[in-house]
Structure 1
């Protein structure tokens, strides 16, 4: 019930009824008062008129009685006839009293005729003053009007007329009029309630429809519209609401398109994008940033992580990111223990009011770029050093020959042999650099064919047997009697074998041993070749960089052996060009094993 009266419709009906009821009450009170006043005044005037007429008629009889001394009985008969003809019609009780206060005639209790009355009003009237009052009849409890008029002429009071008239008839009439007014008020209220309900419905029905439409719009339904019932203010409100719905639909559609575009751009960006709120908490992160930092945006938002916490930066109060105009390069250790270098650019957001907003951080993984830049600088330094060392040696010996050493045949021959050796070293370096440069620019071009792997390995061992004897290193071959044919570029694989065997023999001390081992991996359809030495080995910290260009574990000893530091890099390029792979395992001061595999022959195509 309380909920019902909270609606506008019922509020309008109730207010409308209260207004009508209030107006009817004011009108009814005024009307009742005027009706009561009218009837009472009318009753009093009629009673006064009758009393005045009766007093004037009785004046002659009483005066005649005094002058002619007419008998009392005859006078009483005349007075009774007069009273019965004039007054009794209204039901008033009348007493005619002479100047001595004796009752001459009455219409009520005739036993009091001839008795003297003690009414104070009569005493006042016999003195020449009329008296009028209202009282309650003690016998009936009814309201009565008491009127006493003196009967006088020529300033002589001959008697008085005492009239008592009941006013219940008048008040009954007033009550009937009030009842009619109350009934009219109730009928008016009922009619008002019906009309108010209809009026309120005409007002609230469009409002209810607009309310339902507003809920539908809030739920995302823009297809329905408010029905227009007219061109009044409510109709204009409905038209404005429909126009607003259309504009809102267009705006939301446009916003969705822009959001989808932005989401598509963010999802397909190679750089990571992170957005923060004003207090630095992360509110948005694209897929690239999640993959780059190996985190999930939902976890960061639920844990209320901030951007400085995510990137491992000092707190905002120590390092305000919105004032950071230059990109930051940050080294991070990811959850998978991978070290990355990130370049982060911060862009502060400003509200229309000028207040500082959040921050947009663009994150780029520059680990490879930094590594390549480091390798480039190291490569340039290594090439410069590798070229400068033999050139310096050649220059020194040439200067010595020019200064006169050429005259001594034995000394000059030794200087020339050194110069030739350094020249050949530079030629090997330049050839290796040209080969790697060709690999980088044109790729590795192979001319694959079916090759007998047994024969190739034996030939490689035979080529380095003399070098092994010179270094006092044993070179052995351990292979099955019959290896399957392989599909390779023989020149490329021979170069790989030459580089690996050369390194194994050079870095193995005297009385050491180098073993070439091969086996057929049938399930993988490949032939695996391993070269194991008992040399100085490679520290574990250097294994992951051993295939980098110019990288040496012991640079002084490597240059003493005449290496360029490019052999393993070239070998890896050639093996990977066959769709194969190469790996190295080593233990310091124990030995090293280099293993690579090549595809076996399958009808003329690579495996």
Structure 2
């Protein structure tokens, strides 16, 4: 025998189909086995989770629903619950018990407060009835006082008018060489005029309280009103050595309003301005049209003692006096500015003031464009 000699041959035949079938059978058997194991494990996990987790949580869900409906007496059993879920159930039971206790106290407090409110309402109703009775009596007394004041004022105006008339006649009849007698009649006439003006103011206040102020609404020329005011106020300005000047713009139109009350408004403003302006001062009444909104503005400006900021709203209150010393010096009832605001309100006007102590004051009456004629 030499190297690479052939002494014979062996043939081995392996059936591949059988081997492949065995492999397939093994794979199928293993897959089925693992599927069964997986299903079994999943079933066990599902059963355990359902018993120890899902069911307790579902009971909590139902318990929360009951609490939402107002049933606070809820207690859950933590049997067959997982450890963490059991702790959660215990917390839930504790919270429900606390809420029940709080709600019980709250109901008691609500009942107590309701009873208190019921008693308070009863007391308020009694007080309301008492106040209504007092208001009725007060209204009667107020009406009586207003009627009495109106009657007294009406009765006083007649003799005062006679006194003023006779004083004027006597003053004019005095010969030139009897200056002291003329001066006496002038004082009588002047003080009678002051008293008559105060009576007129009080009468108008009484009418205002009674709701019987009537105003006319007719076209009026503000230039005519200014001329009338100037004729009335010039003697007063000369007495106090104050320059009183007027100025009416040429483009001021006719406006609807009450001639007499508008004149009274300007006379009251001018009288205050003159009386509270020192000797040598100036009071100016000007009327012009505000180009911004088309309103007509009646402006009374002076360089008098001025008004403190905290008093600029109160000066329109009845009987309010900024300074009692000035009041005693210049006389006055404290009704002039109150009437100015009331006369302005009933006519649809507005009144404003700008002032600084020691620098003078500016009163402005604004007539809206809707009251302009034409």
Structure 1, unaligned runs of 5 or more: 10-207, 221-282, 284-348, 365-379, 381-410
Structure 1 residue 462: deviation in Å? 2.9
Question: Which residue, 224, 238, 241 being the options, matches 1:472?
Answer: 241
Question: Which residue, 48, 64, 75 being the options, matches 1:2?
Answer: 48
Residues 479-531 of structure 1: per-residue CA shift (max 9 Å, x gap): 32231111111111100001001111111111111111222124423100111
CA distance in 1, matches of 2:291, 2:351: 18
Instruction: After TM superposition, list the pairs within 5 Å mapping 1:245-284 onto structure 2.
Output: none
Question: Which residue, 203, 210, 215 being the options, matches 1:441?
Answer: 210
Aligned residue for 1:527? 296
1:471 to 1:351, Cα distance in 2 relative to 1, 3 A? closer
Structure 1 residue 473: deviation in Å? 0.9
Structure 1 residue 7: deviation in Å? 8.8
CA distance in 2, matches of 1:594, 1:461: 17
Aligned residue for 1:537? 306
CA distance in 2, matches of 1:417, 1:424: 10
CA distance in 1, matches of 2:54, 2:237: 108
Aligned residue for 1:89? none
CA distance in 1, matches of 2:287, 2:189: 38
Structure 1 residue 580: deviation in Å? 2.2
**Cα contact 1:432–1:566 (8 A) shared by 2:** yes
Structure 2, unaligned runs of 5 or more: 1-46, 70-105, 125-144, 146-179
Instruction: After TM superposition, list the pairs within 5 Å mapping 1:42-57 onto structure 2.
Output: none
Residues 17-56 of structure 1: per-residue CA shift (max 9 Å, x gap): xxxxxxxxxxxxxxxxxxxxxxxxxxxxxxxxxxxxxxxx
Structure 1 residue 357: deviation in Å? 11
CA distance in 2, matches of 1:540, 1:588: 8
**Cα contact 1:514–1:534 (8 A) shared by 2:** yes
CA distance in 2, matches of 1:353, 1:549: 50
Aligned residue for 2:74? none
CA distance in 2, matches of 1:592, 1:215: 74
Structure 2 length-normalised TM: 0.51
Aligned residue for 2:362? 593
Structure 1 residue 573: deviation in Å? 0.6
For these two proteins, the number of residue pairs brought into alignment is 235
CA distance in 2, matches of 1:353, 1:456: 70
Structure 1 residue 434: deviation in Å? 2.5
Q: Supply the RMSD in Å over aligned alpha carbons.
A: 4.6
Higher Cα Rg, which structure: 1
1:443 to 1:511, Cα distance in 2 relative to 1, 3 A? same
**Cα contact 1:550–1:566 (8 A) shared by 2:** yes
* Paired residue secondary structure (1:558): helix
Residues 171-215 of structure 1: per-residue CA shift (max 9 Å, x gap): xxxxxxxxxxxxxxxxxxxxxxxxxxxxxxxxxxxxx9x999876
Aligned residue for 2:201? 432
Higher relative contact order (CA 8 A, sep 6+): 2
1:473 to 1:417, Cα distance in 2 relative to 1, 3 A? closer
Aligned residue for 2:285? 516
Question: Which residue, 478, 486, 489 being the options, matches 2:255?
Answer: 486
Aligned residue for 1:502? 271
Q: Does residue 323 of structure 2 align to residue 551 of structure 1?
A: no
Structure 1 length-normalised TM: 0.33
**Cα contact 1:450–1:487 (8 A) shared by 2:** yes
Question: Which residue, 331, 335, 340 being the options, matches 1:562?
Answer: 331
1:412 to 1:478, Cα distance in 2 relative to 1, 3 A? closer
CA distance in 2, matches of 1:359, 1:8: 49
CA distance in 1, matches of 2:312, 2:278: 20
* Paired residue secondary structure (2:48): coil
1:357 to 1:570, Cα distance in 2 relative to 1, 3 A? closer
CA distance in 1, matches of 2:320, 2:281: 24
Instruction: After TM superposition, list the pairs within 5 Å mapping 1:203-282 onto structure 2.
Output: none
CA distance in 1, matches of 2:239, 2:54: 112
**Cα contact 2:282–2:302 (8 A) shared by 1:** yes
CA distance in 2, matches of 1:421, 1:563: 14
CA distance in 1, matches of 2:110, 2:369: 70
